[in-house]
């Protein structure tokens, strides 16, 4: 019938150009960070199956990031046939890391014992470098200790804020040392050339696993404030890309 009216021709609703541009550029800029988040997330999801919870980190650079390898220069001293090293609280006999720790002040070798002194404690080892005993604050004349040395009779002397003391047999007691007794004190020297060997030991003995590294990589914490900011920015980019994608989808119909 004549009552039918022709349809009005209007322009199809088309997505605005800036929607496409922003979607394209954001996708290009954040492609790598988003890939980083996806891959690290998958590794975390399957970390136990991949052995990441047990595999140890052997990268010196990564261990330095986590403060597992000290800064600065090691201090060393010779005690009998042993080279004793102290590096930011870690103690080494030759190139072997000890479970004991503290700020090394020196070491002396007795005929049947090796004595290593820190500011707060004294550790005693056998001639093969195996742990025997520990003397803490309760067994020492005073702390912090300043120096450790030997006299001609192989008696161990300590220098503290309360003066100079000498240990009796078996380290069971101590007394004020006579001022006229000469003592050969253990002297620490900085040794930059020793650093590489000790760093290798710390890398080999590290208990740090890849699971922790991947977790921090996923959260951005591995790279500090910048890494966390980039992860947050990537999350915002995902939201924006999703909104723009939905707008493009429905406006294009």
Transcribe 46-103 into DSSP letters: THHHHTTTTPBP--HHHHHHTT-S--S--EEEEETTEEEEEETTEEEETTEEEEEES-
Q: What is the pLDDT of residue 124?
A: 96
Helix or strand holding residue 40 (H, E): helix 31-45
More confident residue, 250 or 174: 174
Q: What is the pLDDT of residue 229?
A: 75
Q: What is the pLDDT of residue 67?
A: 87
Q: What is the pLDDT of residue 178?
A: 87
Provide the percentage of residues in the chain whose pLDDT is more than 70: 81
Contact 97, 90 (CB under 8 A): yes
**Region 153-163: what's the mean pLDDT?**
93
**Tens digit of each residue's pLDDT (9 = 90 or more) over 98-147:** 999 999 999 999 999 999 999 999 999 998 889 999 999 999 999 999 99
With a CB cutoff of 8 Å and minimum separation 6, the contacts of 38 are none
Could you give phi then psi for residue 26, rounded to 5 degrees? -65, -40
For the chain, domains (ranges, CATH) are 17-55+209-251 (no CATH), 72-204 (2.130.10.10)
Could you give phi then psi for residue 250, rounded to 5 degrees? -80, -30
The C-alpha atoms of residue 63 and residue 61 are separated, in whole angstroms, by: 6
Q: What is the pTM of this model?
A: 0.73
Q: What is the DSSP secondary structure assignment for residue 230, as one 8-state letter?
A: H
Query: Residue 90: pLDDT band by 50, 70, 90 thresholds?
Result: very high
Q: Name the β-bridge partners of 85.
A: 76, 92
Q: What is the pLDDT of residue 1?
A: 47
More confident residue, 67 or 6: 67
User: Is the pLDDT at 22 greater than 70, yes or no?
Assistant: no
CA distances from 187 to 118, 147, 201, 214 (A): 13, 8, 24, 43
**Tens digit of each residue's pLDDT (9 = 90 or more) over 227-243:** 777 777 777 767 766 66
User: Is the pLDDT at 12 greater than 60, yes or no?
Assistant: no
**Region 175-193: what's the mean pLDDT?**
93
More confident residue, 114 or 224: 114
């Amino acid at each position: 019938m004549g009552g039918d009216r022709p349809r009005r021709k209007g322009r199809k609703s088309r997505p605005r150009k800036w929607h496409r541009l922003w979607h394209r550029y954001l996708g290009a800029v954040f492609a790598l960070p988003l890939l980083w988040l996806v891959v690290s997330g998958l590794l975390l999801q399957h970390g136990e199956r991949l052995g990441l919870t047990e595999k140890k980190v052997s990268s010196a650079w990564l261990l330095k990031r986590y403060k597992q390898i000290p800064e600065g220069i090691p201090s060393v001293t010779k005690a009998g046939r042993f080279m004793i090293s102290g590096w930011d609280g870690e103690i080494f006999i030759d190139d072997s890391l000890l479970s004991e720790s503290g700020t090394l002040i020196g070491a002396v070798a007795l005929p049947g014992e090796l004595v290593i002194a820190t500011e707060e404690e004294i550790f005693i080892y056998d001639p093969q470098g195996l742990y025997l005993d520990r003397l803490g604050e309760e067994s020492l004349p005073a702390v912090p200790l300043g120096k450790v040395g030997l006299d001609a009779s192989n008696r161990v002397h300590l220098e503290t804020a309360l003066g100079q003391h000498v240990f009796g047999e078996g380290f069971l007691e101590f007394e004020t040392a006579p001022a006229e007794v000469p003592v050969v004190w253990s002297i620490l020297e900085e040794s930059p050339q020793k650093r590489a060997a000790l760093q290798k030991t710390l890398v080999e003995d590290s208990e740090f696993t890849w699971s922790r590294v991947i977790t921090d990589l996923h959260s951005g914490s591995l790279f500090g404030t910048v890494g966390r900011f980039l992860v947050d920015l990537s999350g915002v980019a995902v939201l924006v890309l999703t909104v723009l994608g939905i707008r493009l989808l429905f406006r294009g119909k």
